[in-house]
Amino acid sequence: MTDPTSGGTVQRLLQRQILPTDTDPDVLPLYLDCEEPNLDEDKYVVGGSRAAKELNNASIRQKTSTGRAVRPDQVLSRTAVLVPSGEKVSFGTYFNAFPASYWRRWSVVTAVTLTVTVRGSGATVIVNKSMANGRQQKVDSGVTEAEGPTTLTFELTLGPFIDGGWYWYDVVAGHGDVTVESAEWTAAVPADRADHGTVDLAITTMNRPDFCAKLLAQLGTPELLPYLDTVFVMEQGTQLVRDSEFFPDAETGLDGRLRVLQQGNLGGSGGYARGQLESVRKGTATYAMMMDDDVVCEPEGIIRAVTFGDLAKRPTIVGGHMFSLFAKSRLHSFGEIVQPYRFWWMSPKDGFQDWDFGARNLRSARWLHKRQDVDFNGWFMCMIPRQVLEDIGLSLPLFIKWDDSEYGLRARAAGVPTVTFPGAAVWHVPWTDKNDALDWQAYFHQRNRFVAALLHSRYPRGGRLLHESFAFDLAHLVSMQYSTVELRIQALEDVLAGPHGLHGMLGTRLAEVNAFRKQFTDAQLHADPDDFPPVRREKPPRKGKDLSDVPGRLSKAITAGLAPIRQLKKPRDLSREFPEVEIRAMDAKWYRIASFDSAVVSMNDGTSAALYQRDRDRYKALVRRTVELHNRFRRDWDDIAAQYRAALGDITSPETWEKTFAPWTEGEGR
């Protein structure tokens, strides 16, 4: 290898062809593809007058191409695949296409070399590229002539990828079967970038011993081990990962790199901050990667993240994507931003929150070819340079919610971009199956969103934040969700108490919130529907309407105006003893619930339901309190924001976190 001090360049591996170790057929479309894309110009072109969502939504769930699926038995090894005689396999897939526009925009790489090794004669290797609007072009091709292994090499520039686009290759077998044994994307890089960095993994776990132990086992691969410095597991539960039957093999596989640290339940931010602190204090790894304990990992994605970080133009946070653990070809989001005026996290409007690669492949989904620039990456898989942790501090002490997004905004303000990098991903329980705005998490959603906005919003009084927050409170109140509004009010009161109280609440606030919620019927969940009285109603629905009817915009506006007034009326007598209706979770919208005086409402996870009952006096008291609080924020926003911004360096410093951890780790294993 070239001496880094001598200048010049060296060749470095950026990405290699990989195939799944999982036999789940849902996984295969992320690695291999036989389908020919349907590129209907009228439906699928992006970048014009219609957004990607509108252009693709009509047929997102339909197969848009013809052909057969790749069989699992064609996968011969981690890197080799069989292509039967006369057939074609495309590597234009999530894990095997090369995300050229990301390398073009964020790295020092200007050109790449693709080498494809094929065993068997008569095979054609075709190299393709796409542009930001998804249009595709053939770039080059080659044919194998020998029966033994033949390596074809293609030199490819990254110049045309300023806005988006991918490279990929297809292999077509001739008169006999061929095997694609391997493929590598390499690049000439400055000699001082020749050696790869190392990463500390920070995994926060609580009462998921088997899941966490299996994840640790996935990390102990020979290819990944040289990139791992230390794997920190922050054990915050009572069911310990060490007690899992899968732990001994996982520990052996990590070959001395594993450290399990026990501490009290300080939430995700407390767990990740502990991992960040240990990484900074140890000072030997280039990066620290946050990772959830309930994921299935593609180890190659960690290698790719480290490689991309090594070759980035400047220190860069590199995150991965999240696929569904239950439907493994479904991508949750291609990128996340904080909408600045609303100050709310979301996917960009020209993207999707849920995309099924099993129904629409990468090549036919033109919106996926535009590079997606982001504000942050979720800490289910997110790699932060250690130098950045040292420069801008550790996580905010928020317990859960907004710690990852706030950190992305803080890093961006310091000149550190975040890149959600294609080809780095985990499979995780989808957040779309939850409604955590109604349970104990409502407190953390509200408090932490306000804290992040006070620190980073550039709009007067947080833009639309206060208006939206008050509107949400009213929607919860007309829906008889009094416990949720009480928690949201407590959250705002805690924000007003100041930033230096956040550390003190970290280990106690959850228990206090849960104890407080128990007094409200809308927070008392029952798994058995027979626990509730039977449904009885004084009058039948007006004009026979039922809950599946979807009101128009005008009807919703009228309901929004009248529902708060209706809450001042005396509830119907019969509703005090019997619920008036049963409402399924999917139908439990404020504009439906608001017309009832009592209802049994099921929860999003499908396991339980709660009784909602209208309480006129409680409604009036909560309206008064939320009005007073929101008015105070409108009046004092600038002063409160200045207080939080002045305290940011202190409350995220390693020294402050060290003091926070002390009482929660005393006498426990480290």
Identify the bridge partners of residue 336 per DSSP, sorted by sequence position. 376
Measured CA to CA, the distance from residue 185 to residue 99 in angstroms comes to 11
In angstroms, the Cα distances linking 490 to 281, 288, 375, 458, 513 are 35, 34, 28, 25, 9
Check the CA dihedral 53-408-14-177 and report its sign: negative
Q: Are 309 and 385 in contact (CB under 8 A)?
A: yes
| DSSP reduced 3-state for 630 | helix
What are the phi and psi torsion angles at 118 (to 5°)? -125, 135
Compute the residue count for the chain: 670
Rounded Cα–Cα distance for residues 221 and 491 (Å): 44
Active-site residue flag, 177: no
> Can you read off the two tokens belonging to residue 504?
């003190």
Are 580 and 534 a contacting pair, CB within 8 Å?
no
b/e burial code for range 604-623 (CB count within 10 A of at least 16 → b): beeeebbbbbbbeebbeebb
Instruction: Using CB atoms within 10 Å of the CB of residue 425, give its burial: 0 to 12 exposed, 13 to 18 middle, 19+ buried.
Output: buried
Q: How far is CA 274 from the centre of its chain?
A: 21
The closest of 23, 657, 654 to 283, measured between CA atoms, is: 654
Question: Cα–chain-centroid distance for residue 273?
Answer: 19
Give residue 523's identity as a one-letter amino acid code. A
Question: Furthest-apart CA pair in the chain: how many Å?
Answer: 88
C-alpha distances out from residue 5 to 8, 9, 194, Å: 9, 11, 11
Burial 83-95 (b: 16+ CB within 10 A, else e): beeebbbbbbbbb
The alpha helices in 535-615, defined as continuous H runs, are 553-566, 590-593
d(CA 536, CA 555): 26
Amino acid at residue number 407? Y
Closest of 103, 93, 168 to residue 138, by C-alpha: 168
Q: What are phi and psi of 84, to 5 degrees?
A: -65, 155
d(CA 222, CA 208): 25
Beta bridge partners of 103: none
Dihedral sign for Cα 420, 426, 430, 436, please: negative
| Tokens at 75, concatenated | 């996968």
- Nearest Cα neighbor of 428 from 275, 295, 337 is 295
Strand 228-235, strand 199-205: pairing: parallel
Torsion angle, CA of 432/433/438/442, rounded to 10 degrees? -50
Selected catalytic residue, list 229, 403, 404, 615? 404
Residue 138 bridge partners (DSSP):
128
Residues acting as catalytic residues: 404
